Amino acid sequence: MRASFFGLNIAMSGLYASQRALDTVNHNVANVNTPGYSRQVANQKADTPIALSDGTGMVGNGARVLGAERIRDEYLDFKYWSENVSYGEWEVKKTQLSDIEAIFNEPSDSGFNTVLNEFFAAVHELSKNPSSLATRALVKEKGVTVANYFNSTANHLEKIQSDLNYSVKSKVEEINSLSEQIRALNEQIYKFELQGDAANDLRDQRAVLVDKLSKLAKIDAQEVTVGKLANGKDDKRFQIVIDGKFLADNFRRYAITYQQSTTKNNTEDIPGIFNLYWEDGTKFNPNGGELKGYMDVRDGAGDINNEFKGVPYYQRKLNEFVRVFAKAFNEGFIDYDADGTIGVGEDKIGHADGYGLNSAAGDPLPGIRFFTMDDMSSSTFVSAAPDPTDPNDINDLYDNITAKNLTISQDIVDSVDNIFTSTDAGEKGNGEVLLSIIEFRHDPKVFNEGTPEDFMRSLISNLGIDSQQAGRVSLNQETIVKQIDNRRSSNSGVSIDEEMANMVKFQHAYNASARMVTTLSQIYDVLINQMGKF
């Protein structure tokens, strides 16, 4: 009698085990499209056997399901996080450098080479016929176009830097949000598993958040043992470290703060750059990820230790160009000597050394400059020099000119007669000043890089090289990240075909156990209800 009822218990355990396995299959199928979900399997084992009283051995006690096991390879997670950070950084750099390339717009009909060629073509035409008012007007307009090109380029670079600045702020807020969500999940997982439950789905949700966080900044995420619990099990905590400091664990989260600077990190920076700090006031320095990508392009001056060439670098190079260009055009100063030493250099004939269309013989040298800043007249521009007759003081004046504030002087705007062409007063057909200016355009000593075209060609070429490199690194990292993610998916992802096969398998097992229950019921019926009839 007891053996028969014992058999019914074994059959019932088979029913429960198959039903639990079918529930797990059902859960997998329901989450086949859930991002980051790891498939689960019912962890089943034979129940503890019972020894027979007559000493003839042990009899099986059926099956027992220990729980649902989450299929996940932690190594692939660590690998994904370590590669995703580089992908995030270079993806940002690739995009932002492409935007900077679009600003320079080379080669094109509106790029630097076209603008400069048209300007000097007009100057050359005027040198042939200095008394032509139409050609003088053309030189003025082409000069305005040159100034507008640099003004527009500088303004667009500032706009990019401003956008990058707020992207840095946005990414910091995203990091803080993700870290708080991870901390909350850590606490839930810890409490569930402290009671012996498996928090599989919560662990999947946490892994998705860590995936996102790993693209924003370089993190060190791992589960560490910090001691023993009262029940003797290991006390494990999931910790995330950034920049050598804890960002989040099971019960604490440390926020990253941002403060707008009152001074400029670089002279070319926009006001109000966001600097990053930990809550305790120590400076925060991301070592990778999208946040570092945005900060490198925003702050990279490219002047020390192979520092990244970001917006400040290109602003500085543009400022350098317009200062040297305006100085050479106005004063005839060549900024670099043959040995590369920065200084006044060779003094040739410039615009300020000539006379205009209405100059009469014997008139003093007017000293009008073609290029100034902020629509200043030449007299206002020169008045800032301690000694307007000292070439070194005049040389220093041009440090105030930037690509953003470069303009033609108000004197030229007021009258094209003030475009100086003659080296002697009263000679309307004299174009020697313009011929001297045209010569400087092809002087290889104007810049360390060579002529004005060489300077800009070198700048744009380096930008193109940096942009291509960022694109290649980004593409390589994207390929690596996708490959790792595919490996994770093949290991942890749900396969509908596999789940359908498992469903059939567990369904047959359930039917077999049910059949066993029916068979045992028939035995009980004979044993209990029909034995007395014989």
Residues 142-182: pLDDT tens digits?
Answer: 999 999 999 999 999 999 999 999 999 999 999 999 999 99
Q: How far apart are CA 161 and CA 155, in angstroms?
A: 10
CA separation for the pair 91, 219 (Å, rounded): 18
Radius of gyration of the CA atoms of the chain, in A: 39
Alpha helices, DSSP H, located in 334-451 = 378-382, 391-397, 410-414, 432-441
Q: Under a CB-based contact definition with an 8 Å cutoff, are residues 451 and 441 in contact?
A: yes
* Residue 499: pLDDT over 80: yes
Pairing of strands 50-51, 58-59: antiparallel
pLDDT at position 73, please?
A: 94
Decide if 190 contacts 233 (C-beta within 8 A). no
SS3 111: coil
Percent of the chain with pLDDT over 90: 67
CA pseudo-torsion sign 262, 264, 270, 274 = negative
| Span 104-108, average pLDDT | 84
CA nearest to 401, candidates 120, 150, 145: 150
- Alpha-helix residue ranges (DSSP H) falling in 105-239: 112-128, 133-194, 200-216
Mean pLDDT across 371-378: 96
CA distance 195 to 89: 41
**Euclidean distance between CA atoms 522 and 394, whole angstroms:** 114
The answer to whether the beta carbons of residues 298 and 164 sit under 8 Å apart is yes
Written as one letter, the residue type at 361 is A
* In the predicted structure, residue 338 carries a pLDDT above the cut 70: no
The CA distance from 170 to 176, in Å, is 10
**C-alpha–C-alpha distance, residues 321 and 131, integer Å:** 30
Structure tokens at 473: 């690194």
For residue 395, name the pLDDT band (cuts at 50, 70, 90).
confident
What's the pLDDT at 335? 57
Amino acid at 306: N
Orientation angle between helical segments 311-331 and 452-492, nearest 10 degrees = 170
E strand or H helix at 285: none
User: What's the pLDDT tens digit per position in 240-271?
Assistant: 999 889 999 888 999 999 999 887 777 778 88
- Report the pLDDT value the prediction gives residue 105, as an integer from 0 to 100: 85
Would you state the pLDDT for residue 506? 95
The pLDDT tens digits for 398-442 are 999 999 999 999 999 999 999 999 998 888 888 999 999 998 888
Rounded CA-CA distance 41/69 in Å is 5
Which residues have C-beta within 8 Å of that of residue 41, sequence separation ≥ 6? 24, 68, 69, 71
For the chain, give the mean pLDDT: 90
- pTM exceeding the 0.85 threshold for the entire prediction: yes
Closest CA to 466 of 251, 288, 311: 311
Residues with Cβ within 8 Å of 300's Cβ and at least 6 positions away in sequence, in order, are 307, 308, 309, 310, 311, 312, 313
Angle subtended at Cα 276 by Cα 274 and Cα 277, rounded to the nearest 5 degrees: 140
Q: Are strands 406-408 and 256-260 parallel, antiparallel or unpaired?
A: unpaired
* CB atoms inside a 10 Å sphere around CB 186: 23
